Structure 1
Amino acid sequence: MPQTHQHTPHHGENGHHPDHDHGGHQEHRDGGQAEILDLDAEVLAEHLASITAWLPLKSEPRQIVDLGCGTGAGTFALLERFPDAHVTAVDTSTGHLQLLRERACARGVERRVRTVQADLDTNHWPDLGTPDLVWASASMHHMANPDRTLRSVRELLASGGLFAVVELAGFPRFLPAHAPENRPGLEERAHAATDSFHAEHVPHRGADWGPILTAAGFTVEDERTITINIEGERSEAIGRYAYSSLQRIRGVAAPALSPEDLAALDELLDTNSPNSLLRREDLAVRTERTVWAARRA
């Protein structure tokens, strides 16, 4: 499969974060999750637009389903890319869907969006129509039974319709390797400290969806990996994105970190500290996203 590697210093992408629940999980996480989804969308928007432009479609889709839509970054990117399309946005979170509806009204596209609250981990999905395009960004790896979800998508798609799966290797990295000065390499150790948690709770994170799609009765038409490297001075949102992300990682990593590493991490997360992430000028967003475009075999 051809792969395209892009190194683009710029803004904004799809509102789904690697370790956030979509389409089937806990409502109480809405608060901080909505903020981080929005920051993800703001910082990585240009990369999302490049993915929607790349999709190997036979014709412009009129009916689209966004599975695990979060706060709507993918929904709005798809509406912008396909001006005649209607999007059904599906998520388990009523809070996310409410934000999405408010934003649709603010953008004047509310007539082109339908929101559906549903748990995608169940056997019985609500009526989502017969879409020409199903979009799942950073949501498939959260499914308890991805094979069952893929069967449901296959039954849902219109004849000749396309299924686009967008996934992330994991949380973005933000700090240079030599930072912070008193504990170089802290960020990588914090990520390593979350590995066992993610192996248990998010076992499909980082999976190669190509063989999984094939086994589920799809033909993978194309695959693309985008390498993202956005320099921090381009956007103050990157500081907030780094702060929110590392704050989330701290909650999982803390028990496995040394006291010295935990203290250094807390200093980065202390908004009053001169070493706060929000004051650093050496941040960047480094991550990869892979998209698989598949049709029913």
Structure 2
Amino acid sequence: MPSSEHYTPSQTLSELAQEAQEHIRAQRKKTSAAYRAARKARVEECIDIHHAAIEAEKARLEAKGKPNPNYQVGFTKRRVLRDKENPRVVDLPTEFAMILKACEEFIDNPRRFPELYTWVPEMNNRQARELVARVLACLLVNTDIISGRVGEPSPQGMKPLSYHQFHEDHALRFGKYIAPKSFNKAISYLKRAGYYNSESINIPIGDVEGTVRGAPAYKQFSEVFFNDLKVVRYRNIAESIIETRKRQIKNGLRHAWISFRDMANGVVQRYLNANKFELVAESNLRVFEAYSPQVSLNPH
């Protein structure tokens, strides 16, 4: 009887399992590629919004008899809103003029931020400094300057923002694409200098498989950073920062980190990382108070 190829049941099951795993990997790869493409398309849309907003503002100024062909956003206290139906530029609070100017100064003056200059050799390269300056600008316009928390104040508390949102902010502010790897490189430089830190947030979904999903990380500037930034040493800037905080509080916004419970839609604990950064926020407040008018101001 001629021999033929036979498979045992265990071998067949093993092959089926392997095929299933390969199919899952292929699907994940496809999903990941589609996700990255969608993200990039959103950034490109933000670039279009930036250019449309700039042209609209130039036209408005020309109509008023005040033409400004070199009008830009960049390192100014302006911001382009995420509105493709009505692209426009709005002003940020006064203090951001000097804060963003400090970022721009770093491009040509590597000693403007001493800890970066000391601990990050890459800062000898002008291109690397420009990258850090642009990323800093995007982070700082979304930062509560009193506490150093990076996020969006809301009635529930400060909501962490994802790095994808900062990629879009970069497109809206500078009108150009930034590769996620480049953005992450700048973040690593800031961390190495002791200027910035982040803590991930993992939310258990509660299914039988124990699935965990990530939320945007808590992000925080340090006391060391604000000492080097120096802007709070100027009385008028400190007063402007306090007025901005008062306006936000009057509008019902809170600046303590939003609770883990709220972020996880009913999970009953507050994540320990938030508590850790509450201590950093208290420390930053002391730096601010050292140079600001004698006003009692709760960091929350």
TM interval, short-chain normalised: under 0.3
Higher helix proportion = 2
Higher strand share: 1
Relative contact order, CA 8 A, sep 6+: which one is greater?
1
After TM superposition, the score normalised by the length of structure 2 is 0.26
TM-score, reference length from structure 1: 0.27
